[in-house]
Amino acid sequence: MCGIVAYVGRKIAQPLLVEGLKRLEYRGYDSAGVAVIDSAGNMHIRRAVGRISVLENTIQNGQALPESFIGMAHTRWATHGAPTECNAHPHLDNSGRIALVHNGIIENYAALKKFLSGKGHQFSSQTDTEVLAVLIGDLYDEMKVQNHIPPGVSPLQRAVQAALHQVEGTYGIAVICKEEPDTLVVARKGSPLIIGVGKDEYVVASDASAIVEHTTQVIYLNDNEMAILKPDAFRTCTIDDIAISPVVSQLENKLEEYELGDYPHYMLKEIFEQPTAISNTLRGRAEQKDGRIVLGGVSKYTRELIRAHRIILTGQGTAWHAGLVGDYLMEDLAKIVTECTYASEFRYRNPIVEEGTVVVAISQSGETADTLAALREAKERGALALGVINAVGSTIARETDAGIYLHAGPEIGVASTKAFTCQIVTLAMLALYIGRRRFMSQAQCQEVIDGLCAIPDQMTKVLEQSDHIRTIVEQFCERENWLFLGRGYHYPVALEGALKLKEISYIHAEGMPAAEMKHGPIALINDGMPVVFIATQGSQYDKVISNIEEVRARGGKIIAVATEGDANIHRYSEHVIEVPDAMECLQPLLTVVPLQLIAYHAALARGCNVDKPRNLAKSVTVE
């Protein structure tokens, strides 16, 4: 939620900041703004409602910014206050000396606002962020008159530290002050910030996409840490001013991986990248020749995994759907009692975490607030904490005991696609890793590994049907209610298909087990209603056919995702999308692809913005 980019160095700041915002726009696009300090020490702010392009046009057409070598910018996903210019970031203190951008939520902002109003401070927005800016400004005046600030420590640093001791909630912030025009102060708690380290320059951003063009050397700030950055020096410390020796890491992904290339949308690009992404996830781990799984990331805890009594998989949204597939995989292949639970529910329950419990946090970004909180709760209760994460260096990845990176490459599209399939592949490998060491025969392990390694080529065949899927969708895209039904491994796929359609086309859709339909939802079916069945040949194929008959009897129109060569399914369906035959436990990797394409083509047909769906942002870092 929300994107921050800030710069201090020897380059002109404005173009770098605006370009960085464009790369972060998937984190929020309600409004945007930029603040710079010119060589005369004057603060300049531009803000606009809407996409980054609106802000860019504002700057180019009559409101140009002066040359500056320090500044910061923000793209907003609204929490407190509607998307208006006065609520857009950056926010100023009352003196106009200090500007701040913020990602997160200040939970006690109302009490702080009342206190500051009592001191005579004025507020022009409805945001919690402005309260923090005004608080820092109020404390800055106090710091300037104090004589005990050590040499080399600025009043701005002290004011930020003092303010952060008074706030409750989460934050990733960047702060500049026109009285200290060469100093950028940044801090985090619960919201990610990365510092890119260049030659006589620093680029700070919410994620690596806004940094990688300028440097591949980065520092990941941890909670309650801050940095004071100048062109020729930097210092990292806690908000209690305890010095920290920073660890400089190397970014994994290259700039071209963040580029759109020849695709019209990131979502389509990432759907078509899935065969390559899955190959990268498998590489070096699924050793087909030897029939074994190698997971160096969790090898230290092999004994605990083998002896585990229970596995809890947790995540939100698409990651939770992947966890549901993982639930089936763990019980099928590893024979361990497994539960998949929403992280947002787990963290507020009184969960039973007995000895021998393993908790696996699933998150593309590694920054999902609820998943991070659930992980911390599980660790507090003594569970072995693992992560299935895509973003290297992310907070969840750093807080787990061990984990497995997806290596899917950057996922920019708000509607997750390739992360979902790579999460399933990773959970399948983890299930095989445990199962082989518990009871699974070499022959069974080899069979599943062979099946996994065949998936990329099989998926390519599914992707070749994109035009066929488009023609189907165009017949139903004006219908406002859809059902997605599946059994067994395909129940989570039905949930994911419905979610994708809701996210980007704004069509109301429900996913559920096919057998559940008769227990109420069948009342929704009317003449012409599109109903998507995942009806591949497997252990429950005949049961699914019976469910299809029940829908047809009530006027529903059947779109079946079926096994290649199944002639029977055409008797029961208006439209059929074929997928290659695969082991039942791996079929979700293939059957989800047509559902991703259904959502994509429906959104296009309805004129929706595929990569920037309304009300959504890519990484949910606030509760």
Is the pLDDT score of 621 beyond 70?
no
Is the pLDDT score of 145 beyond 80?
no
Over residues 10-61, the pLDDT tens digits come to 999 999 999 999 988 888 788 999 999 999 999 999 999 988 889 888 898 8
- In CATH terms, is domain 259-462 a member of 3.40.50.10490? yes
Over residues 415-458, the pLDDT tens digits come to 999 999 999 999 999 999 999 999 999 999 999 999 999 999 99
Task: Please provide the DSSP assignment of 136-161 as one string.
Answer: HHHHHHHHHH-S-PPTT--HHHHHHH
Task: Please provide the DSSP assignment of 155-215 as one string.
Answer: HHHHHHHHHHTT--B-EEEEEEETTSTT-EEEEEEBS--EEEEETTEEEEESSGGGTTTT-
What are the structure tokens assigned to 198, written together? 């260049």
Over residues 211-235, the pLDDT tens digits come to 999 999 999 999 999 999 999 889 9
Residues 392-411, mean pLDDT to the nearest whole number: 94
Domain boundaries, the chain: 3-251, 259-462, 465-623
State the catalytic residue, choosing from 2, 237, 340, 585. Answer: 2
Fold of 465-623: Rossmann fold (3.40.50)
Q: What is the pLDDT of residue 575?
A: 96
Residues 385-406, mean pLDDT to the nearest whole number: 94
Q: What is the pLDDT of residue 34?
A: 95
Residues 333-346, mean pLDDT to the nearest whole number: 95
Task: Please provide the DSSP assignment of 535-562 as one string.
Answer: --SSTTHHHHHHHHHHHHTTTPEEEEEE
Q: What is the pLDDT of residue 60?
A: 86
Query: Would residue 618 show up in a list of annotated catalytic residues for this protein?
Result: yes
Is the pLDDT score of 289 beyond 90?
yes
Is the pLDDT score of 144 beyond 90?
no
Over residues 493-521, the pLDDT tens digits come to 999 999 999 999 999 999 999 988 889 88
Q: What is the pLDDT of residue 141?
A: 84
pLDDT mean across residues, the chain: 93
Task: Please provide the DSSP assignment of 596-623 as one string.
Answer: HHHHHHHHHHTT--SSS-TT--SS----
Is the pLDDT score of 581 beyond 80?
yes
- Give me the phi and psi of 289, to 5 degrees please: -65, -40
Q: Do domains 3-251 and 465-623 have the same CATH topology?
A: no
Residues 360-388, mean pLDDT to the nearest whole number: 94
d(CA 220, CA 194): 5
Global pTM reads 0.90
Preceding omega of 155 cis (within 30 degrees of 0): no
Under CATH, to which class is 3-251 assigned? alpha beta
CA-based nearest residue to 365, from 404, 396, 321: 396
Over residues 74-131, the pLDDT tens digits come to 998 777 788 888 999 999 999 999 999 999 999 999 999 999 999 999 999 999 999 9
What are the structure tokens assigned to 410, written together? 């950057």
Residues 230-252, mean pLDDT to the nearest whole number: 92
Is the pLDDT score of 147 beyond 70?
no
Q: What is the pLDDT of residue 385?
A: 96
pLDDT class for 623, splitting at 50, 70, 90?
A: low
State the catalytic residue, choosing from 22, 113, 418, 618. Answer: 618
Burial class of 256 by CB neighbour count within 10 A (0 to 12, 13 to 18, 19+): exposed
